[in-house]
Amino acid sequence: MTESIITIDGVSKSYPGGPEGRFRAVDEVSLTFEPGEVTAILGPNGAGKTTLIDIILGLNQPDSGTITVLGGTPRNAVRTGGIGALLQTGGLLPDLTVKETVHIIAALLPDHVPVSDVMEMAGLNEISSRAVGKCSGGQQQRVKFALALLPKPHIIILDEPTAGMDVSARHEFWDQMRATAVSGTTVLFATHYLEEAEQFARRTVLMHQGRVIADGPTDEVRTQAGAAHVSVIWEATASDIQSVPEVDSYDVQGHQVRFRTDDADAVARYLLTQTSARGITVKPASLEEAFMQLIPQRHKVGGAD
């Protein structure tokens, strides 16, 4: 059993506001992260991802609960250069150039990767003398990424790192991330791009309204919600369709019948052996559906809350 690199135990944080006078941004969250783990924290806006990240970075203090990072307080982990982070709302100074920005932050760290190496890693060389205020959103994210790599951290935390990037920039970003993460760095990233969690994180933590509603290997989180879709071409009557086992729901469009099921094997076996259905495809449900499935029902029904 390896020792956890981050331990969060019963952490809550609330702000004034909301119907009960307090809005619980983070509600009794307990999580541990092991060295080298790559984890996605997934959730819609307002799920509490940024507040949780701020608490891990010591930028915000929990109302209750404890948090240990690299065996000490978050602030201590930051001060010793143990954590590097790309902040979603962290601003850059618009009138510094890209290179100056990296230099000025490097000067404030106890130890850092050489500035030229970081510039290379984050792909900043061709824009090094451009003022940050004149950089595109994606370029600014790359500058922030360079700042996250700078302290040579054990833990890298990325809060919506690819916000404002187009698809190809996002892929390029994650390729760079993968290249730097091989050295056993623990990576924690918040995102609302489901495919980023699916492609880059072995573990996914789903958050909704301040709570962790699912946590596990990304594949499992996806299947936890049930789910796969089995589609076939089938000239079937309503009673034919209703006799298919293990079906949660279905829809019919012409001869195309689509079943949603927790047991795709059983459905596929039945369809292929007992009926005339053909052209079968089986597709696991997306993380988004898993997400919708896991959100307690009352939140999905408008006005019930």
Partner 1 sequence: MNIMTYIAMDFWRNLRNFGNSFFIIVLPTALFLFFGVSTDWNDAMLPNGTGNVSAYTMVGIAVYGAATATTSLAGSAAVELQQGWGRQLALTSMSHGMFIAAKSIIALVMAAFPVVLIYLVGLFTITQMTPGRWFSTAMLTVLASVPFALYGLMIGLAFRSDAAVGAASGALVIFGFLGNNFFPLEGILLEIGRFTPMYGMTALARYPLTDGQIVATGDSGMVGSDPLWILLISITVWSAVFAIGCILLQSRRTARR
Residue 45 Cβ, how far from partner 1 at the closest point, in Å? 18
Q: Is residue 11 close enough to count as binding partner 1 by CB under 8 A?
A: no
Chain-centre distance for alpha carbon 163: 12
CA 230/CA 258 separation, integer angstroms: 6
Q: Is residue 58 close enough to count as binding partner 1 by CB under 8 A?
A: yes
Label residue 239 exposed, middle or buried (CB < 10 Å: 0-12, 13-18, 19+). exposed
Q: Is residue 89 close enough to count as binding partner 1 by CB under 8 A?
A: yes
According to CB under 8 A, which one of 44, 71, 72, 110 is a site residue for partner 1? 110
User: Looking at 30-38, 107-115, 121-129, 160-168, which segment touches partner 1 (CB under 8 A)?
Assistant: 107-115
Q: Are 134 and 127 in contact (CB under 8 A)?
A: no
Q: Is residue 221 close enough to count as binding partner 1 by CB under 8 A?
A: no
Question: Which residue matches tokens 């962790």?
Answer: 212
Residue 7 Cβ, how far from partner 1 at the closest point, in Å? 20
Angle (nearest 5°) at CA 34 between 33 and 36: 115
The region that residue 299 occupies, defined by phi over 0 for left and psi between -120 and 50 for alpha, beta otherwise, is alpha
Q: Is residue 167 close enough to count as binding partner 1 by CB under 8 A?
A: no
Residue 90 Cβ, how far from partner 1 at the closest point, in Å? 4
User: Looking at 39-47, 74-82, 235-243, 261-269, which segment touches partner 1 (CB under 8 A)?
Assistant: 74-82
CA 70/CA 57 separation, integer angstroms: 11
Q: Is residue 87 close enough to count as binding partner 1 by CB under 8 A?
A: yes
Residue 301 Cβ, how far from partner 1 at the closest point, in Å? 32
According to CB under 8 A, which one of 81, 123, 216, 284 is a site residue for partner 1? 81
Q: Is residue 65 close enough to count as binding partner 1 by CB under 8 A?
A: no
Residue 25 Cβ, how far from partner 1 at the closest point, in Å? 11
Residue 164 Cβ, how far from partner 1 at the closest point, in Å? 15
Nearest C-alpha neighbor of 257 from the set 275, 266, 265, 273 = 275
Label residue 62 exposed, middle or buried (CB < 10 Å: 0-12, 13-18, 19+). buried
CA 220/CA 214 separation, integer angstroms: 10
According to CB under 8 A, which one of 12, 23, 36, 59 is a site residue for partner 1? 59
Q: Catalog residues that contact partner 1 under the rule CB under 8 A.
A: 15-16, 57-59, 78-81, 83-85, 87, 89-93, 95-96, 100, 103-105, 107-110, 147
